[in-house]
Structure 1
Amino acid sequence: MILTKCAACATELGLSLGKKCGRCSTRYCGPECQVQHWKEGGHDQLCKPIKKAGGAEQYNANKKYAEAVTVAAEACAEDTKGQTCYICTQALHWKTKEGLVRGCSCRGTAGFAHVSCLAEQAKILVAEAEENNSDDSQWHRWNTCSLCEQEYHGVVVCALGWACWKTYLGRLEADELRIGALSLLGNGLSDAGHNEDALPVREAELAMRRRLGASEENILVVQSNLAITYGELGDLERALSMEQEVYSGRLKLNGEDHEETLIAASNYATSLVRLQRFGEAKSLLRKIMPVARRVLGESHQLTLTMRWNYAMVLYKDASATLGDLREAVETFEEIERTSRRVFGGAHPNTRGIEVALQEAREALRAREAPSASV
């Protein structure tokens, strides 16, 4: 359940407060709002269509999915002009008339597709794996390009998140596909910058997993995602506290060489940087960067993120030396080339590194200018 507000007054209801329409399950904070919504809010006209669609949650998911597809196609319109879908080979989807998207690391004429086609492909592959009791669930096809094998990002993965949620939300609460769909939706909303919408999804997933007795591994994953959302919404102290808890849990559960531990350490370092606790961040990053390079390699996205944060610490710290600033610029230049080669120039990480590189260069020039004039 991700509809957590009263449909009439938008009061936050959490997962269990309030009441529901007996016909379509639309949620309200009380009978007064329900009556007002029926008489003045148009629910008398919408109740039957909502019920026909499968209830309030399904109706909302279908609507949000359609909106997200439109946004994704419009955002990708310039890049996809004159191209065709690699799945159905059409420019416009035969049924929905939606445009094309490309939100991965494919380049040239590769990787163009309709969100509907990507969703249908993922749905079929997951169903086949489920029917065959395969260990390879093909779940990654909901968020990973089958051509370049890089995860989708931005508004494209947001649209796929809504596609996944609307596909599986009707299953039982404990069904792994339903739980996974909720997680993917939260990831998609966050990646598209819709963190206020992602927050109730994250909190709902954590509450649900705890209620179902999920493993420590699964709880740590959800806590990590929730902490990131707190950080994006400006609740930095709460984010830091949870990131520290997750990192400690990962060290105990997986050890320092495990990729999940490195992810937790990187997220913890990011929270320290945001709070300008540069000394602690620098100490942590110096400890984990060599491990990431050894375990994951120089070109891995996580390694690049750690080095990005380290360079940020070097040039943003008020006590930074001239040598620190030069090292920051050199680091940014190196990881920008690597990110461009691995992910392409349009990837959000590449663009973010480019902006940080410009800022670091300006800081270096400002520091060198007085010396040059002496």
Structure 2
Amino acid sequence: MILTQCAVCATELGLTLGKKCGRCSTRYCGAACQVQHWKEGGHDKLCKPIKRAGGAEQHNANQKYTVAVAVAAEACAEDTKGQTCYICTQALHWKTKECLVRGCACRGTAGFAHVSCLAEQAKILVAEAEANNLGVKVLDERLNRWHTCSLCEQGYHGVVRCALGWACWKTYVGRPETDQLRIPAINLLGNGLHESGQYEDSLSVMEAELAMKRRLGVSEHSILVVQSNLASTYSCLGRQENAVRMLRDVYSGNLRLKGEENGTTLLAANNYAFTLIVVRRFEEAKSLLRKTIPVARRVLDNNEETTLRMRMNYAKALYADDDATLDHLREAVTTLEEIERTARRVFGGAHPVATQTATSLRNARTALRARETPPTSKSQN
């Protein structure tokens, strides 16, 4: 996580409370903890090395990045065996000695890279946009390189997305809070932590991002984006009612700001529907999805990720309902079979859409078999 707690007692400080070490910026809730850390916590020996690394936040980001890269490389080891980086053409990175990753939709021999190479590529593109004043649109497009493969144009997922999140954050963490790249960096970090299942850390980062955005007076759209991410994390942590309330507000906010045919509004509708399913409010979820799926198919594409996820959630609302009819269960199975074939073709079998659809399909088939199989009658003695 980013440094939002006292280094001694872990009191929550957000991004602005407490005090910092005058040399290295390590954070404390007050003078007593700072003195204790110096005398008993080893800070007297660590202070200068932390300062040389760029300060406490930079030092922390560097360490977390190194761990995240190692985790990503290990997770991809079987897939990357015998391959080379498409950027530097080496199997082992010449400087960092890190191994390869591939967490996108590339298949065959395409898409293998070092996290360091992907990060350097993104950093150069963004720096060029900044230096030449190419405008917000170009800058946003180039920021996508921090989370999207330049070959298959699909987003990285799982631990690879997390490693790139730390890479982005460590690149821009030293900039002022008002810098145009610091907010995207903290956003990418929070999403990366969420992608890798580190929900508590993700929540801490996202709450810090929301507080920073409110303090800076950013647009309502920007606030809605981080609220949507927060709600997803609430859901993963089991705080479903918090998630439902926030996602309802996010969906209605986007509907008002952007209209029903906007991609962000459709994504918000899908997130809201998913959480309604989690809390077993199936009729509300089905009603919302019946209204929004035709719009998604028309505005986005049948093979687009949001459209597939909406259809998957609709099927889930059908088969998970205790009152589902036999026709509902058959419709759910047929729909999920089609989605799984599409997801594997478009994104590859390892992509979350493909794996999650496969799980839902197994569950739907189980529910259908249970309904189709007549109960066995016990013989009378």
- TM-score interval (norm. to shorter): over 0.9
Equivalent position SS for 1:332 = helix
Measured after TM superposition, the shift of residue 16 of structure 1 is 2.7
Equivalent position SS for 2:108 = coil
Q: Does 1:223 align with 2:205?
A: no
Q: What residue number does 2:208 align with? A: 204
Measured after TM superposition, the shift of residue 235 of structure 1 is 1.1
CA distance 1:50–1:271, shift in 2 (3 Å)? same
Equivalent position SS for 2:89 = coil
Q: What residue number does 1:160 align with? A: 164
Measured after TM superposition, the shift of residue 110 of structure 1 is 0.4
Q: Does 1:336 align with 2:340?
A: yes
Give aligned pairs, total: 374
Q: Does 1:53 align with 2:57?
A: no
Q: What residue number does 2:96 align with? A: 96
Q: Deviations over 1:294-338 (max 9, x none)?
A: 111110100010011111110110100011111111111010000
Q: What residue number does 2:125 align with? A: 125
Give me the whole-angstrom Cα distance separating, in 1, the residues matched to 2:257 and 2:352.
Answer: 31
Q: Does 1:277 align with 2:278?
A: no
AA partner of residue 97 (structure 1): K
Measured after TM superposition, the shift of residue 42 of structure 1 is 1.7
Q: What residue number does 2:297 align with? A: 293
Measured after TM superposition, the shift of residue 175 of structure 1 is 1.0
Which stretch has the larger CA shift, 195-204 or 113-122? 195-204
Q: Deviations over 1:76-106 (max 9, x none)?
A: 0010000000000000000000000000000
Measured after TM superposition, the shift of residue 125 of structure 1 is 0.6
Q: Does 1:70 align with 2:70?
A: yes
Aligned-residue RMSD, C-alpha: 1.5
AA partner of residue 131 (structure 1): A
Equivalent position SS for 1:176 = coil
Equivalent position SS for 1:8 = coil
Provide the TM-score with structure 1 as the length reference: 0.97
Q: What residue number does 1:253 align with? A: 257
Measured after TM superposition, the shift of residue 172 of structure 1 is 1.4
% identical equivalent positions: 72
Partners of 2:2 and 2:60 within 8 A in 1: no
Partners of 2:273 and 2:313 within 8 A in 1: yes
AA partner of residue 306 (structure 2): L
Structure 1 moving runs of 4+ over 6 Å: none
Q: What residue number does 2:243 align with? A: 239
Q: Deviations over 1:225-279 (max 9, x none)?
A: 1111111111111111111111111111101011111011111101101111011
Q: What residue number does 1:214 align with? A: 218
Equivalent position SS for 2:374 = helix
Partners of 2:119 and 2:146 within 8 A in 1: yes
The structure, 1 or 2, with the larger RCO (C-alpha pairs under 8 Å, 6+ apart) is: 2
Measured after TM superposition, the shift of residue 48 of structure 1 is 0.6
Measured after TM superposition, the shift of residue 130 of structure 1 is 1.3
Give me the whole-angstrom Cα distance separating, in 1, the residues matched to 2:224 and 2:308.
Answer: 23
Q: What residue number does 1:114 align with? A: 114
AA partner of residue 286 (structure 1): R
Equivalent position SS for 2:373 = helix
Give me the whole-angstrom Cα distance separating, in 2, the residues matched to 1:269 and 1:14.
Answer: 31
Measured after TM superposition, the shift of residue 39 of structure 1 is 2.2
Partners of 2:106 and 2:152 within 8 A in 1: yes
Q: Deviations over 1:41-67 (max 9, x none)?
A: 221111111111111100000000001
- Structure 1 spans left out of the alignment, 5+ residues: none
Equivalent position SS for 1:6 = coil
Q: Does 1:141 align with 2:152?
A: no
Which stretch has the larger CA shift, 326-335 or 216-225? 216-225
Q: What residue number does 2:16 align with? A: 16
Q: Does 1:346 align with 2:350?
A: yes
Give me the whole-angstrom Cα distance separating, in 1, the residues matched to 2:259 and 2:57.
Answer: 40
Equivalent position SS for 2:133 = coil
Give me the whole-angstrom Cα distance separating, in 2, the residues matched to 1:344 and 1:352.
Answer: 12
Give me the whole-angstrom Cα distance separating, in 1, the residues matched to 2:143 and 2:308.
Answer: 26
Q: Does 1:3 align with 2:14?
A: no
Measured after TM superposition, the shift of residue 30 of structure 1 is 2.3
Give me the whole-angstrom Cα distance separating, in 2, the residues matched to 1:210 and 1:16.
Answer: 13
Give me the whole-angstrom Cα distance separating, in 2, the residues matched to 1:344 and 1:3.
Answer: 37
Give me the whole-angstrom Cα distance separating, in 2, the residues matched to 1:238 and 1:281.
Answer: 17
Q: Does 1:370 align with 2:374?
A: yes
AA partner of residue 49 (structure 1): P
Q: Deviations over 1:338-374 (max 9, x none)?
A: 000000001122111111111110110011001798x
Give me the whole-angstrom Cα distance separating, in 2, the residues matched to 1:74 and 1:329.
Answer: 35
Equivalent position SS for 2:32 = helix
Equivalent position SS for 1:370 = coil
Partners of 2:15 and 2:212 within 8 A in 1: no
Equivalent position SS for 1:366 = helix
Give me the whole-angstrom Cα distance separating, in 2, the residues matched to 1:12 and 1:205.
Answer: 14
Give me the whole-angstrom Cα distance separating, in 1, the residues matched to 2:221 and 2:317.
Answer: 30
